[in-house]
Amino acid sequence: MKVGVISDTHGLLRPEALAALEGCERIIHAGDIGRLDILDQLASIAPLHVVRGNNDLDAPWAKDVADCLRFNLNGWETLLVHDIADAPVVLDATIKLVITGHSHKPCIEWRGERLYLNPGSAGRRRFKLPVTLALLEVVETVLEPRLVSLLE
CATH of the domain at 104: 3.60.21.10
pTM score of the predicted model: 0.96
CA 110 → CA 11, 73, 115, 130, distances in Å?
30, 17, 5, 21
Domain count, the chain: 1
Residue 133: predicted pLDDT: 98
Quote the CA–CA distance of 141 and 138 in Å, as a whole number.
8
Residue 10: predicted pLDDT: 97
Residue 95: predicted pLDDT: 95
Rounded to 5 degrees, what angle do the CA atoms 37, 61, 32 make?
A: 70
AA identity, residue 128: K
Per-residue pLDDT of the chain (152 residues; tens, 9 = 90+): 999 999 999 999 999 999 999 999 999 999 999 999 999 999 999 999 999 999 999 999 999 999 999 999 999 999 999 999 998 877 889 999 999 999 999 999 999 999 999 999 999 998 889 999 999 999 988 999 999 999 86
Residue range of the domain that includes 13: 2-149
Residue 40 in contact with residue 18, Cβ under 8 Å?
no
